Amino acid sequence: MPTTKPTTDTEAAAAQILLFPQALGRRENPGGPDSEDGRRVEGSRPASGRSVVLCGTYRKDPAGLRRTFDNLKDLGFSILSPSNTFVEAEENGFVYMRHESTQTPHQLENNHLDAIQRSDFVWFFAPGGYVGPTGALEVGFARANGIPVYSDTPLDDTVLKGFVMLVDSPLTVCDHFKSHRVPPPPPAVKTFQNYYRRVALERGYSNENAKDCLLLMLEEFGELARALRKRMHLVRHGKQIPNHESSELADVFIYVVHMANILKLDLSKAVQDKELLNIRKLINGK
């Protein structure tokens, strides 16, 4: 699949309205979300501020793919990947877009998957309902990361069609976001939570109760505060201390996961539910 290109400083600073915290500094098209050469499209741009990745087959209908790409741009969506739809070459069924032939299919697909994680949603291009193996991978990847997938064409695959929301057009997706019908993605911590449940047993931590975990967690908060004090050069007495805030923050996170396991909570679902509550409060003005 095509890759994304580095964003400009102006695009990196562009404000984005998000339902759930996501990474900033997204790589977007060199000319911005308006057109490949940077020329702005006149008229209404209802999707301004929303980012999308265009997935699906890039071989079956190149002209249709180009129209879909241009339509997303004209509506104001920031297309994180592909960077363009000008086919430069094809090798063993893999399509290289312009400026991509110097990279391997593995590198390009990794970049494409990375763009999916940073996007607000995926638009799936499926002429005639076709879903290839790479497209199936991308739908599953988006699903696992809580990124919604939309299409205006019913998929042929019986299983995958249940993971792709059928809409009339990308404008419908705009309405979904504006009406808060797109739920925040659950944090991808379930795998790590299951991992640490096993690790706690192996390391002899499994018998700790909530009180034990809380005291240990508070100790790590203290070490994190000490590291931050070092960063801010707030030194009142004593010798200089090493700055390891990333390590201390990781310790805090591990204890949060450990506490969730002790309390038998699904941390990913708990965070998602809390953010849904925050959104309802925002809508209701409370």
Instruction: Give domain status of residue 159, yes or no.
Output: yes
How many domains does the structure of the chain reveal? 2
Q: Are residues 173 and 66 in the same domain?
A: yes
Residue 47, pLDDT above cutoff 70: no
> Quick one: 131 and 198 in the same domain?
no
- Asked if 29 and 79 touch (Cβ cutoff 8 Å), the reply is yes
Last residue within a domain, chosen from 178, 206, 240 = 178
Q: What's the CATH number where 106 sits?
A: 3.40.50.450
In a domain, 3, yes or no: no
Residues 238 and 170 in one domain: no
Q: What is the CATH number of the domain that holds 277?
A: 1.10.287.1080
Query: Is 239 inside any structural domain?
Result: yes
65 and 144 in a single domain? The answer is yes
Q: What is the pLDDT of residues 215-258, one digit of tens each?
A: 999 999 998 888 888 888 776 566 655 667 888 888 999 999 99
Which residues constitute the domain of residue 242? Answer: 190-284
End-to-end CA distance of the chain: 44
Model pLDDT, residue 133 = 94
Model confidence over 5-36: pLDDT tens digits? 444 444 443 333 333 343 333 333 433 434 44
Q: How many residues are listed for the chain in this entry?
A: 286
- Residue 162, pLDDT > 50, answer yes
pLDDT of residue 159: 95
Q: Which pLDDT score, from 0 to 100, does residue 40 have?
A: 36
Q: Strand pairing partners for 79? A: 52
C-beta separation of 50 from 177 below 8 A: yes
Are both 133 and 173 inside the same structural domain? yes
- Mean of per-residue pLDDT scores for the chain: 82
Same domain assignment for residues 199 and 62:
no
One domain, residues 170 and 195: no
> Using one digit for the tens of pLDDT, what is the confidence trace for 100-121?
999 999 999 999 999 999 999 9
Helix 210-231 vs helix 245-262: angle between axes, to the nearest 10 degrees?
A: 160
**Would you give the DSSP letter of residue 100?**
-
Residue of higher predicted confidence among 30 and 140: 140
Residue 206 has pLDDT above 80, yes or no: yes
147 or 3, which is more confident: 147
- Would strands 165-166 and 149-151 be described as parallel, antiparallel, or unpaired? parallel
In a 3-state reduction of DSSP, which class is residue 53?
A: strand
Q: Say if residues 130 and 104 touch (Cβ distance below 8 Å).
A: no
Residue 185 within a domain: no
Give the pLDDT confidence score for residue 184 in this predicted structure. Answer: 86
Tell me: pLDDT of 42 over 70: no
User: What CA–CA distance (Å, rounded) separates 217 from 161?
Assistant: 44
Q: Which residue has the higher pLDDT, 280 or 84?
A: 84
Q: Are 173 and 256 within one domain? A: no
CA distances from 227 to 216, 223, 237, 272 (A): 17, 6, 15, 29
Structural domain contains residue 113: yes
